Amino acid sequence: MSDGPTSKQQPTDPSAHSSTTGMVGGGFYDANSATQWNAIKVDFPMLDKAVANLPLNDDELITLADFGCSEGRNSINVMIHILADLLPLTSAQILTVHSDLPTNDFSELFVNLRPEGHSVFGSDRVFSTAIGGSMYDQLLPSRSVHLATTFNAIGFLSRKPVDRMPGYIFPNGPSAIRNNGYVSEQDRQAFSEQAKQDVAQYLHVRAKELVPGGKLLVEVFGFKDDIRTCDGIYDLLNDAVLAHVETGDIARDTYEQYYQPVYLRDLEELTAPVTDKTYKSAGLFSLDQSMSYEVPVPFVEDYRKDGNLERYVKDYVNFFRAFTEAVLRNALPETPERNQLVDRIYRRAEEILRANPDDYPFRYVAVAMLLTRLG
């Protein structure tokens, strides 16, 4: 028996194949992801179609896997919807798998899976597990998964394709309204290609895990026409960070090296790796359905109804803080004051939005596709 890792058994980097350490934990992401849930619900007809056409065998375990589960509220509710369709179709036992990065806050997930010590799914045929790992790696046994899903997580790239972006903190660039920065065309292309390579890698490893005829649903925030999900939120975060560059709290070099390693795809960029022979994923799946769509944003709708600016400011900033904070914190020098600086940046975002709410309008577009594993 070994007392520890040998030279051939070194512990792996938990951030390998990932450009973030995950969402804000402690229930914060669950509390601020209602907009993401609105986007997920639009995909329910595709999920219903997928379940109705699954290759089922009552003699084998049926596995459902969700990649990018975060704290679990949305992931679990997706499984509840799937199981409502699936349980009447089979007498087999079912395993739900909830996966995210090793640095994810799984404690909230486990509480959500077994409230009061019992399975949230309410069936003695349904069991659940969690796996920590990058969604760009194979995480489950070959030919063991019947239905796999991912919602939004594939928007976070597997790696940072450029070392720095001196003009803005987001690769799709600023909105036309604020126009508060720039991204070079060369950098845009680097991110576009990395995003397609990431989809190809994701499809490649999921193809290994899926049974022939298994289904895969991929959904992620994106853009269509002139509506971009990045507009507003990243303009505001960029302005808040720059405010601290101007005061000297953040060095200009730190700002130029910091950016959110997220890319907004349109529908063509999402689906290209399914059929384009340039990518290793081509020919592994059939493309059953794809679509782009806009969904209502709860805090925007509430503000339109009652004009409560203070609630709007708090909900707006908390919404994007839930998925941007980890990357921002890790980009700042590791000092005793780093956490306080992060808090000040988001408070500054609130102040800027409160003073100029019309400068940061926000809309939410998603792109999605349903695939079938060939072979």
**pLDDT tens string 161-192:** 999 999 999 999 999 999 999 999 999 999 99
pLDDT at residue 12 is higher than 70: no
Higher pLDDT, 95 or 28: 95
pLDDT band at 26 (very low <50, low <70, confident <90, very high): confident
pLDDT, mean of residues 362-369: 98
DSSP string, 179-191: ------HHHHHHH
pLDDT band at 371 (very low <50, low <70, confident <90, very high): very high
Rounded-to-integer distance, Cα 313 and Cα 357, Å:
8
Residues in contact with 259: Cβ distance below 8 Å, sequence separation at least 6, in sequence order: 160, 164, 165, 168, 169, 170, 171
Query: Looking at residue 19, what is its pLDDT?
Result: 54
Residue carrying the six token digits 């925030």: 221
Phi and psi angles of residue 142, each rounded to the nearest 5 degrees, phi first = -60, 140
Q: Are 25 and 108 in contact (CB under 8 A)?
A: yes
Q: Which of 30-34, 96-100, 216-220 has the lowest mean pLDDT?
A: 30-34
Phi and psi angles of residue 264, each rounded to the nearest 5 degrees, phi first = -90, 120
Rounded-to-integer distance, Cα 66 and Cα 128, Å:
11
pLDDT band at 89 (very low <50, low <70, confident <90, very high): very high
- β-pair partners for 294: 365
Helix residue ranges, H only, 53-179: 73-86, 106-113
pLDDT band at 15 (very low <50, low <70, confident <90, very high): very low
Q: Are 168 and 182 in contact (CB under 8 A)?
A: yes
pLDDT, mean of residues 227-250: 98
Residue carrying the six token digits 């980890």: 326
Query: Looking at residue 244, what is its pLDDT?
Result: 98
pLDDT over 90 for what percent of the chain?
Answer: 88
Rounded-to-integer distance, Cα 149 and Cα 104, Å:
18
The strand pair at 210-221 and 364-373 is best described as antiparallel
- β-pair partners for 222: 265
Query: Looking at residue 9, what is its pLDDT?
Result: 41
Within 10 angstroms of residue 208's Cβ, the number of other Cβ atoms is 15
Q: Which one-letter DSSP state was computed for residue 262?
A: B
pLDDT band at 25 (very low <50, low <70, confident <90, very high): confident
pLDDT at residue 5 is higher than 70: no
Give, in degrees to the nearest 5, the angle at Cα 86 between 82 and 89.
165
Rounded-to-integer distance, Cα 117 and Cα 114, Å:
5
Rounded-to-integer distance, Cα 40 and Cα 76, Å:
12
| Nearest Cα residue to 28 out of 234, 319, 309, 310 | 319
Rounded-to-integer distance, Cα 258 and Cα 216, Å:
33
